Amino acid sequence: MEFLKKYFKKYWKGFCLAIAFLTLEAGCDLMQPTIMSKIVDVGVVNRQMDYVLKMGAVMLMITALGALAACGRNFLSSSISQKFSADIRLDLFKKIQGFSFDNVDRFSQASLITRITNDVTQLQNFANGLMRIFVKSPIVCIGSIIMAVS
Does residue 57 form part of some domain? Answer: yes
* CA angle, 102 then 106 then 107, to 5°: 125
Half-sphere exposure of 111 (CA within 13 A, CB side): 7
Does residue 1 form part of some domain? Answer: no
Q: What is the pLDDT of residue 127?
A: 85
Q: What is the pLDDT of residue 1?
A: 65
Tell me the pLDDT tens digit for each residue of 92-126.
888 888 888 787 778 777 877 887 888 888 888 98
- CATH number of the domain to which 123 belongs: 1.20.1560.10
- Report pTM: 0.80
Does residue 3 form part of some domain? Answer: no
User: Is pLDDT of 4 > 80?
Assistant: no
Tell me the pLDDT tens digit for each residue of 9-66.
888 899 899 999 999 999 999 999 999 999 999 888 888 899 999 999 999 999 999 9
Does residue 6 form part of some domain? Answer: no
Picking from 62, 64, 69, the residue whose alpha carbon sits closest to that of residue 22 is 69
Q: What is the pLDDT of residue 103?
A: 77
Does residue 142 form part of some domain? Answer: yes
Query: Could you give the CA distance from residue 74 to residue 100 in angstroms, rounded to a whole number?
Result: 41
Query: Could you give the CA distance from residue 27 to residue 95 in angstroms, rounded to a whole number?
Result: 44
Half-sphere exposure of 149 (CA within 13 A, CB side): 6
Does residue 4 form part of some domain? Answer: no
Q: What is the pLDDT of residue 135?
A: 85
Q: In sequence order, what are the residues at sequence separation of 6 or more whose Cβ sits closer than 8 angstroms to the Cβ of residue 84?
A: 7, 11, 123, 124, 127
Domain that holds residue 130: 11-149
Does residue 99 form part of some domain? Answer: yes
Domain count, the chain: 1
User: Is pLDDT of 133 > 90?
Assistant: no
Does residue 125 form part of some domain? Answer: yes
Query: Could you give the CA distance from residue 14 to residue 11 in angstroms, rounded to a whole number?
Result: 6
Comparing 117 with 70, the larger pLDDT belongs to: 70
